[in-house]
Structure 1
Amino acid sequence: MTDTETGDRAETLALIVGSAAFLESLEQLRRARALRGHRPGISRDFWEQVSDLGWLSLRVPNEQGGIGLGIQELCALSERLGACMAPEPVPEAICTAPLLSGTLLEDVMSGSLIVLPAWQERAGDLESKAPTVRLAQGKLIGSKKYVHMAEAAGGFVVTTSNGLQFVRKDAPGLKMLTTPLQDGGHFSELRFDNTPIEPIKGSFETVQEEITLGIAAYLLGVMRRAFAITKDYVTTRKQFDRSIGSFQVIQHRMVDLYIQIQLVSASIQQAAAILESSPSLAAAKQAVSRAKARASDVALLVTRQAVQLHGGIGYTDEADIGLFLRKAMVLMNCYGSATAHRARYLTLVCAARGKL
């Protein structure tokens, strides 16, 4: 990449970050708190704002009417969404949009239709290449699990043994079984019983990696904001006429957490660069698994430590810091737990070295 291209990329990233500046307000945290536990769990006004800002067309190529930006911009935006714990499934919708075309794509980019992926069939399964969901006489049979915030969607891109299929939420034969989650959101199981479909061209493999990295970046935003809130708290909370942040043991814990957060950031940046430039999907998967495993572990570490450093108030529902822990507990397993990604990473490394 030339110096000019590097400068242009930095300017684009700055514009994305600038467009998301409103997410830093305390009002956004209050909004996330108010939406938890409700169905469908999102704000349509917020989704319209997301559409107006062009975020839903972020990964859609220019020739299809999109902005055509890269993974680094996706991660920068996802991190800001994580910092305010936005419950809307924005990273999933952004990455799924390029699979669509025609009226479906137009409706997604305009914000009038939310389309989410449905690919997972078993807990801990990271592969979408051999799904059991299938077509029988042109109708869909089978089930998909763990579809995040599914009740907010108007349709789903479903991986099947016959390729990708679009299914509308109100399609006959589709039943949704929803489970509430710790952060106030939900997962849904989609059961298809001779459900009508609309065929979609393309592959979900790369899209899955993009979403996974977007979730890792979202977790980075969660841990950064939890760390910042905790830093302010230990600076102002006094004990023995001194701020507890002046105690060496607290300083050491905060420095350790800061280092871990920076390592997550570096891992995500590296994975984004590899996912954008590497012709090898296996190499991209390795990088994404490294980033997601580290982000999952550190998000839980930082948010748990943040609650503890707040003392008794941190364990109350009124304290915002506890919401960050709940969010981390949910998303650390979304699109693959740390254990699942470490296992995949080991398998890929061994295969690359000819040991499998």
Structure 2
Amino acid sequence: MSTQPDLLYSEEEEALRAAVRDMLGDHCDAAGVLARAETDAPHDPELWKTLAEGMGLAGLLVPEELGGQGATHREAAVVLEELGRAVAPVPYLTSAVVATEALLECGDETLLGRLASGRTVGVLAVALHVAPGAGHPAVRQVDGRLSGELTGIADAAAADVLLVPAQDGGLYAVDARAATVTAQTSLDLTRPVATVTLDGTEGRRIGEAAPAVRRALRAAAGLLAAEQLGLADWALTETVGYLKERKQFNRQVGGFQALKHRLAQSWLEVVHLRAAARNAADTLAQGGDDAEAELAVAVAQAYAGPVAVRAAEEALQLHGGIGMTWEHPVHLYLKRAKADSIAYGTPGAHRAAVAELVGLQAP
């Protein structure tokens, strides 16, 4: 067992948060995100360049000797909190966390260095809904050439390299330009999904798929809770601010007792989510026992999805008529919350995982 975790933010983490929040305030305003959401290219390459190359955040999980920052999942979680608060349309989770974790398991130093620089975006070609440890489709492989179709791949349109599981048990690196990437209808306008089709496409085997995918999805699910925390915290903060300004019958709407109760309940849920998300990030950062990390991640995801969705729903409802308009960004947060709630496993799947990990029998 690990020592008692310290879930408080360190000075370095608070400084990182402030830097990322300032940068997003300058480069990721709600109007810009909304404008991109209406196009066929929702990703923001300039924002990604600033985040990844300018601030060096794409390589947080990559060791320094490979060109990364040598930080931990705690720092990556802080970044994801802020990206969640801004519903930033960048492939940070998919490239700097998921693909990076898969490459760390495989030990591919060349690709790790490229992803750490931020000049290359990597995407693991496993559907966004797949939970850690669950089965997933794989493509056929004959003489190093891959053929097959994979659906629901998040941020595939932004990828430079795809990490593709094959039926021979290997994980292959594929130049994204050699694959056919077809956009799918996505609820979350800021994290689009696509179908990846390979037809005799050349791939380079970089390692075993099973352990790499399992490690990548476990980190993804654990750090996704940080993104959901940032989203829920934004929704609560914006709603409180709006209700302090909005008046009805010459009284501040926020002074109505029924609304106070709803806000208090939302605040409690966000506080509990912060503890669960921080514990998942801290446990992943410690390394060590896989079962302990799996439990921390499953607990966080069992709780995070419903809380983020409720916070976004409350924000939309309590903003009244303005909350129902396209011009107000709250709908982006609700869509991201809904999409996140089934990403890397549903809350139900994670509750079942918790029960199995602690030996709790079903009634």
Do these two structures clear the TM 0.5 threshold for a shared fold by scoring above it? Answer: yes
Residues 131 and 45 of structure 1, relative CA distance in 2, 3 Å threshold: same
Q: Which runs of 5+ in 2 are unaligned?
A: none
**What is the CA-CA distance between 1:354 and the residue it aligns to?**
9.9
Q: 1: distance between equivalents of 2:285 and 2:110?
A: 28
Helix, strand or coil at the partner of 1:67? coil
Q: Deviations over 1:120-154 (max 9, x none)?
A: 39x65543567543422221233322211211111
Number of residue pairs aligned between Structure 1 and Structure 2: 348
Using structure 1 for the length normalisation, give the TM-score. 0.89
Displacement after TM superposition at 1:292 (Å):
1.5
Q: Secondary structure of the residue that 1:20 maps to in structure 2?
A: helix
How far off is 1:270 after superposition?
A: 1.3
Matches of 1:345 and 1:281 in 2, distance apart? 13
- Report the equivalent of 1:326: 335
State which of 192, 197, 200 in structure 2 corresponds to 1:194: 200
Aligned-partner residue type, residue 271 of structure 1: A
State the one-letter code of the partner of 2:170. G
Q: Out of 137, 161, 182, which is 1:177 matched to? A: 182
* Amino acid in the other structure paired with 2:215: T
Displacement, 1:94? Answer: 1.0
Letter in 2 for 1:235: K
Whole-angstrom distance in 2 between the partners of 1:189 and 1:106? 27
2:181/2:197 contact within 8 Å kept? yes
Bigger Cα displacement from structure 2, 336-345 vs 219-228: 336-345
Identity fraction in percent: 28
**How many angstroms apart in 2 are the aligned matches of 1:138 and 1:48?**
32
Partner of 2:64: 62
1:94-173 paired onto structure 2 within 5 Å: 94-95=96-97, 96-97=99-100, 99=103, 101-120=108-127, 126-127=132-133, 131-161=137-167, 162-171=169-178
- For structure 1, the 5+ residue unaligned runs are none
Give CA deviations for 1:299-352 in whole Å, capped at 9, x if unaligned. 1111111111111221111222222112212222122221222223323333xx
Q: CA RMSD in A?
A: 2.7
Give the TM-score, by structure 2 length. Answer: 0.87
CA drift at 1:53: 0.4
SS of residue paired to 1:170: helix
- State the SS of the aligned residue for 2:184: strand
Deviations 1:30-63 (A, max 9, x none): 2221211423321211111012201011000122
Structure 1 125/193 Cα, relative in aligned 2: closer, same or farther at 3 Å? Answer: farther
How is 1:1-356 mapped onto 2 (pairs within 5 angstroms)?
Answer: 10-23=10-23, 25=25, 28-51=29-52, 52-95=54-97, 96-97=99-100, 99=103, 101-120=108-127, 126-127=132-133, 131-161=137-167, 162-171=169-178, 174-185=179-190, 186-201=192-207, 203-277=212-286, 279-350=288-359
C-alpha distance after superposition, 1:256-275 (max 9, x if no partner)? 00000011110011112222
- Contact 2:67–2:117 at 8 Å: present in 1 too? no
Letter in 2 for 1:66: G
